[in-house]
Structure 1
Amino acid sequence: MTTASTATAPLVNNPLMHYGPRMLQRSAAGAEEIEYRRISLCPLTTHIGAEVTGVDLSSPVDDELARELRAALLEWKVLFFRGQEAMTPSAHRALVDVWGAPEANPFFPQGDSVEVSRLAKDEITFGHENIWHSDHSFMAAPALGAVLRAVEVPPAGGDTMWTDMYAVYDNLPEGLKERIEGSSAVHDWEPSWGTTMTPAQIIALRQRLPIVEHPVVVRHPRTGRKLLYVNEPFTIRIAGLPEDESRALLCELVLQARIPEYQVRFRWQPGSVAIWDNIATQHYAINDYFPQRRVMERISIAGVPLS
């Protein structure tokens, strides 16, 4: 006979298991309310992701519009734009300047300029970005953000998802927050990107991209708000812990990004543009369209060392 206590006990010790509402704050407590005059925002969730209207990204961005776009990105973490077919590669490049300098991904093929990564997926080249990750976390100064433009999309599928790493941190149990406060994690590109490279290529690239450490709990460089900064493909261990303990803790932490309440999902159309905060979010490119064709162009925004 099954007792009441065993009938209600969880089957596994699942770090994702949670019943009821979660704390989902769009901005830090006490943050100043922002009034937008040049743009209109349509939120896709209560805390992450907003579609922006009233902006033509093919035209130059003046100082007032730039200030509102920067404020909106800090507030919503991901901004989406529709109907931007007239946006040219030079306008794409100029838009990045609203946030900072461009940065090339060392593993992506480059497009018309050294900063533009052209990501073409089809029946021959299929995507590997279907894992929750933060771009360039394996670098000493990870990318601050990115601007992604849809050139060609499949008739169905090929969505991208983002997850709010502020919300992930906010909802960690207090005991776990205390445990990871002040800890560092080791980030490395070799276990993922290195699988497609020869030993000689790895050795040559290692000179430019050594293994790095970042705090497990990061304060965002522009908001000062705390977030969890570990991800599945690039974070390989928690510094200073025995291997078994590091693996168990890291597994519990990286799985938090998979919780649906923290996420927003975007359906691409030709001419759609997404701009995201790469420190405050992780993203996942859903690979459900193979062997259909999907072509995107991306420019990353250079970042700073994290603390």
Structure 2
Amino acid sequence: MSQTIPFSCHYFPSREFRAGARELRRQPDGLSGERPYTLFTLKPLGPIIGAEIEGVNLAEPLEPDVKAELQRAFLEWKVLFFRNQPITSEQQLAFAREWGQLEKHPFLPKGSADEITRFEKDATMTGNENVWHTDVTWRLEPALGSVLRLSEVPPLGGDTLWADMGAAYDNLPEEIRQRIDGLSAIHDFTPSFGRFMTPEVLAAKQEEFPAAEHPVVRTHPETGRKTLFVNAAFTVRIVGLEEEESEQLLGCLFRQAHVPEYQVRFRWEPHSIALWDNRATQHYAASDYFPNRRVAERVSIAGGRPY
């Protein structure tokens, strides 16, 4: 039996105009972000998300105290950026392993190792990542995070944006937060990757990677913060709602990643590195650099079941 939850989209009209301050917290209540970082320099790129790290050499193994301080910065800022890091693919893999086991992507082109996804984009191979999304939420256990390294950067364009989905949740009207807490949604690779497959391959992959059900609002396993956990690339419907209501509610929730106050935008340079928390963010790769080339390699860190 479908669950009936009266919902009005007037909170998020298609021509939304909401002036005034938003509630912007880097961390949930009870976690202090005021402790200084003493083993490297941290330069915030915005008030709540994104910071550049200077003074850490990613070509070398991390000392335990440096790793611990980077972990604290990772949870506080959600996305960490490192410039001037001419590291190899093997060193990128080693850095990613500092955060856990690595996973392979079954659909995207591989680089020099199975755990490396290579994005080599030019005028003949256009970018398809210009939609707000969280990586591999169609997995039963979506990725914890990713390490992205750019080796070739266009002269203009090709930026990546990240959105803090904890801030997105915080700023929903209380009535909407109450309505979506406890709901779950279905995540499926079919609308995105499936459109490039033959029917036979698609059927086999759907059996190997069945659609996953995750909470609409997940709790971050390390900070305890509630974050909005639906995305336009992979979330297809909310369990228990009629199709029209599900589409309307998802459309409203998807648009929360579009709010600039929740975002950071990073201008890539050659040998720049980004490490992001897939449990707390969405991201969007601007596809505005053609016919120039953009070459990147990504390594993803295996995660756990959202709750």
In structure 1, the residue matched to 2:56 is: 55
Gaps of 5+ in 1: 1-9
C-alpha distance in structure 2 between counterparts of 1:30 and 1:192, whole Å? 39
The alpha-carbon deviation at position 13 of structure 1 amounts to: 2.7
Distance in 1 of aligned mates of 2:63 and 2:89 = 18
Equivalent position of 1:126 in the other structure: 126
Residues in 1 aligned to 2:128 and 2:237: alpha-carbon distance in whole angstroms: 22
Q: Write the mapping of 1:187-226 to structure 2, written as runs, cut at 5 A.
A: 187-226=187-226
Shift of 1:16: 4.1
For 1:6, the equivalent position in structure 2 comes to none
Query: In 1, are the aligned partners of 2:53 and 2:81 still within 8 Å (CA)?
Result: yes
Aligned: 1:96 with 2:96: yes
Describe the shift of the 1:15–1:174 C-alpha distance in structure 2 as closer, same or farther (beyond 3 A): farther
Contact 2:145 2:301 in 1 (8 A): yes
Name the aligned partner's letter for residue 150 of structure 1: L
What corresponds to 1:275 in structure 2? 275
Deviation of 1:14 (Å)? 3.5
C-alpha displacement at 1:249, in angstroms? 0.6
Give the Cα separation in 2 of the matches to 1:149 and 1:215.
Answer: 31
* TM-score calculated relative to the size of structure 2: 0.94
1:35: how far off?
A: 3.2
Gapped regions of structure 2 (runs ≥ 5) = 1-9
What does the per-residue CA deviation read over 1:91-115, in whole Å, with 9 as the maximum and x for residues that have no partner?
1011112211111111111111110
The DSSP-based 3-state class of the residue aligned with 1:150 is: strand
Counting only pairs closer than 5 Å after superposition, residues 160-199 of structure 1 correspond to structure 2 as 160-199=160-199
1:190 aligned counterpart, secondary structure: coil
* Kept after mapping to 2: 8 A contact 1:78/1:277: yes
Letter in 2 for 1:25: R
For 2:181 and 2:30, the matched residues in 1 are separated by: 23
Structure 1 CA distance for aligned equivalents of residues 296 and 242 of structure 2: 41
| Aligned residues between the structures | 296
Range with bigger deviation, 176-185 or 93-102: 93-102
Say whether the 8 Å CA contact 2:28–2:224 is kept in structure 1. Answer: no
1:117 aligns with 2:117: yes
TM-score, normalised to structure 1's length? Answer: 0.94
Quote the offset at 1:34 in angstroms. Answer: 3.2
Q: In structure 2, the residue corresponding to 1:148 is in which secondary structure? A: strand
The aligned counterpart of 1:262 is 262
Alpha carbons of structure 1 residues 168 and 15: separation in structure 2 relative to 1, 3 Å: farther
Partner Cα distance (2:22, 2:15) in 1: 14
